[in-house]
A and B are shown apart, each in its own frame.
Chain A
Amino acid sequence: MIDRQKKYYKFRISIIAYAVITFLLFHSCKKDEQREVENYYSAGVINSQVLSNTSTSAKIKLRFFIWDKSINNGLIPFDIKDRISGSEYNYSGVFDSLKRITTAFEGNYSAAVLISNGLDVDEGMEDYFEIAEPFARKFLHNSTPDNEVMLAKAGNKTKPVEIIGNGFSKDGSLFDQELATICKNGNYMANDSLSLLKAMDSVLNYMIERSEFTNRHLVLLISRRVNFYQDMNMTNLMNKALHNGINCHIIEICPYYYWKNNGIYDFLKKLNARSYGIYYTQPYNFYYQYEDGELPMDMLQVAGKLPDIFIGGTDCFEIQWSLTTPYSTFYSGKTFRWDFDVTLSTNFESDELNLPFFFYIN
Chain B
Amino acid sequence: MKKLLIISLILTGFSAAAQKFEGGFLYSPAMLSKLTYDKQYIIFEDYTSLTAGGNEFHPYISPLSTGVFFRYRMPHVFYRAEIDFFENKFRRSIPDWKTTRDKYFNYSAIEIPIMAGYTINPGSMFKFHIFGGLNNKVGRFRTVFFSTLTYTINDSKSYEYYSDLPKKLELIDRFSLYYLNALGGIGFSFYGMTVDLRAEKNITGLNHELLTNSANYKDLITVRLCISGVINIKKKK
User: Chain A residues in contact with chain B, CB under 8 A?
Assistant: 33-34, 36, 130, 133-135, 137-138, 141, 173-174, 176-177, 179-181, 183-184, 289, 291-295, 300, 303
Contacts and interface: CB of A to CB of B under 8 A. Distances in A.
The CB with the most chain A CB atoms within 10 A, among B41, B47, B97, B212, is that of B47
Interface in B133-151: none
Contacts of B98: 292
Contacts, number: 67
A137 B159 contact: no
Interface residues of B, number: 26
A181 B212 CA distance: 16
Contact of A177 (B40, B48, B97, B164): B40
B214 A176 contact: yes
Contacts of B51: 180, 184
Contacts of A180: 40-41, 43, 49, 51
Contacts of A36: 157
Query: What are the 6 tightest A-B residue pairs by CB atom distance, in nearest-first order?
Result: A173-B213, A134-B47, A180-B41, A293-B164, A176-B213, A180-B49
Given A177-B40, A292-B163, A294-B163, A184 B212 contact: no
B41 A184 contact: yes
B99 interface: yes
A292 B41 CA distance: 18
A289 B158 CA distance: 14
B213 A134 contact: no
Nearest to A135: B47
12 contacts: A36-B157, A133-B47, A135-B47, A137-B43, A137-B49, A176-B43, A176-B214, A179-B49, A184-B51, A293-B167, A294-B163, A303-B47
A293 B39 contact: no
A73 to B, nearest CB: 15
A274 B128 CA distance: 82
Interface of A is mostly: helix
Interface of B is mostly: loop
B47 A291 contact: no
A306 B202 CA distance: 43
Contacts of B49: 133, 137, 176, 179-180, 183-184
A33 B213 contact: no
Nearest to A131: B48
Nearest to B52: A180
Contacts of A300: 46-47
B155 to A, nearest CB: 11
A349 to B, nearest CB: 10
B124 interface: no
A173 to B, nearest CB: 4
Given A135-B47, A293-B102, 6 more contacts: A130-B48, A133-B49, A138-B47, A177-B213, A181-B41, A184-B49
A36 B98 CA distance: 26
A138 B47 CA distance: 6
Contacts of A303: 47
A79 B205 CA distance: 55
Given A34-B158, A36-B157, A174-B213, A134 B163 contact: no
A339 B43 CA distance: 36
A183 B49 CA distance: 10
B161 interface: yes
B154 A291 contact: yes
Contacts of B39: 177
A33 B154 contact: no
Contacts of A173: 43, 212-213
A134 B154 contact: no
Contacts of A292: 97-99, 102, 163-164
A52 B161 CA distance: 50
Nearest to B158: A34
A133 B40 contact: no
A293 B154 CA distance: 13
Given A176-B213, A177-B39, A184-B41, A291 B161 contact: yes
A177 B102 CA distance: 23
Contacts of B99: 292
Nearest to B43: A176
Interface in B6-41: 39-41
